Amino acid sequence: MKLLIINGPNLNMLGIREKHLYGAQDYAALCDYLRAQGERLGVEVELFQSNHEGAIVDRIQEAYQKIDGIVINPAAYTHTSVAILDALKAVSIPACEVHLTDVNAREDFRRISYIRLACDKTFAGYGFDGYRMAMEYLVETYKK
Ligand code: DQA
């Protein structure tokens, strides 16, 4: 099984950006964590981070017929991107949405998620652990 884990804009700034919200661990630490979870679960993990909406759309399209599950933290594009929603719908690969913070407990605009419409599940507010939960969910569903 192959999982693609996509992180959107500014997640490369983890450890620097708003530490009181996103924590002190950097993006490299997140990548290490995700690779370790992949090994533990016995699945291949591909990591992708971009600050560009079109690049994220391109990466989702490339996953067509190659990837078995997508974990996506679309970051700010969560709340704006019909293009990423449509890309996920186009490839119809099982997907989960992840947010480090509890987006429902922040500004009103963060409650809106376009991406959620193409996702089986959302894990928000669990920090790095949310990615693990999403990976476990996709692996369990794939096995069924
Ligand atoms: C985020 C939440 C988004 O609202 C925000 O724009 C981000 C990160 C999170 O992981 O909590 O950049 O997706």
| Nearest one of 136, 137, 4, 15 to 69, comparing CA atoms | 4
> Facing residues of 5 across strands?
47, 71
> Strands, DSSP E only, in the chain?
2-7, 44-49, 69-73, 95-99, 121-124
pLDDT tens readout for residues 27-72: 999 999 999 999 999 999 999 999 999 999 999 999 999 999 999 9
Give the binding-site residues of ligand 1, using a 6 Å CB cut-off.
Answer: 10, 73, 75-76, 78, 99-101, 103, 110
Nearest Cα residue to atom 8 of ligand 1: 75
Per-residue confidence (pLDDT) for residue 142, from 0 to 100? 97
Mutation probe of ligand 1 site: the residue of 99, 102, 131 with most atoms within 8 A of C-beta: 99
Burial tier of 52 (Cβ tally within 10 Å: 0-12, 13-18, 19+): exposed
